[in-house]
Amino acid sequence: MTSTFPNISISTERLVLRPLDEDDVPALTEMMNDEQVGAWTSVPQPYTESDARTWITGIAPAERAEGRGIVFAVTEFLTQRLVGMVHLQNTDWRVRASEIAYVIAPWARGEGYATEAALAIAQWLFHDQKFERLELRTAADNTASQQVAQKIGCISEGVLRNAWIARARTENGGWADVRTDVIVWSLLPEDLAGVSEQLADTGGFTSFNDWN
């Protein structure tokens, strides 16, 4: 029988991480059309409300039901506004390991939300779900995401050469594929010791991730 994550919400001092719902369609669409999200992820560009609705009502629930991972909407506790998304994916239940990916809305960057959300997920995964490894992959030039990885205590394990395709704007306003190296990071339960939930953060998003 396939193991699955519980369909729950997680609260921090400033955030609520909860399942996505259809009310999130407009905010998710706006967030995924951001220039940097387009550059560092594989989401369709332009990203439409139809794409968002398919993700929210079909793909994300299937991730959890099939045991492959879980998707959380990241919202501000006070305003309930969507500030980002966290995705656990490529989950191995025998090894008790999963890979984390995150996106932060452009207006919410620099507030520490990526670090706060990622740290909350890591604590929940290790303490409540008894996992033993969390993995994170970032494009070599995605320094914002790398800073988040370092702030939650991740250890860099090495570089996968030529392992990912990022995107860059062309002169005519389109997108061009750019092959890049990928840095592999890991976090183990013992790495969380001494990591503060109040760490500063520049925001960011993972690159090695399929948000389609």
CA atoms of 171 and 82, how far apart (whole Å):
32
Residue 211 has pLDDT above 80, yes or no: no
DSSP character string of 114-160: HHHHHHHHHHIIIIIS---EEEEEEETT-HHHHHHHHHTT-EEEEEE
- Contact by Cβ (8 Å): 45, 33: yes
Percent of residues, the chain, with pLDDT higher than 90: 89
What are the distances in angstroms from CA 107 to CA 18, 111, 185? 20, 9, 26
- Contact by Cβ (8 Å): 79, 5: no
Task: Assign 200 a pLDDT band (cuts: 50, 70, 90).
Answer: very low
Residue 201 has pLDDT above 70, yes or no: no
CA atoms of 140 and 104, how far apart (whole Å):
19
CA atoms of 171 and 156, how far apart (whole Å):
35
- Contact by Cβ (8 Å): 185, 211: no
pLDDT at 2: 65
Amino acid, res. 158: G
pLDDT at 203: 44
Mean pLDDT of 187-201: 69
For residue range 107-165, list pLDDT tens digits in order: 999 999 999 999 999 999 999 999 999 999 999 999 999 999 999 999 999 999 999 99
For residue range 47-88, list pLDDT tens digits in order: 999 999 999 999 999 999 999 999 999 999 999 999 999 999
Residue 17 has pLDDT above 70, yes or no: yes
For residue range 5-14, list pLDDT tens digits in order: 999 999 999 9
Mean pLDDT of 16-43: 96
Percent of residues, the chain, with pLDDT higher than 70: 91
Q: Which two tokens stand for residue 6?
A: 């519980």
pLDDT at 195: 73
pLDDT at 80: 95
Host H or E run for residue 173: none
Mean pLDDT of 173-182: 95
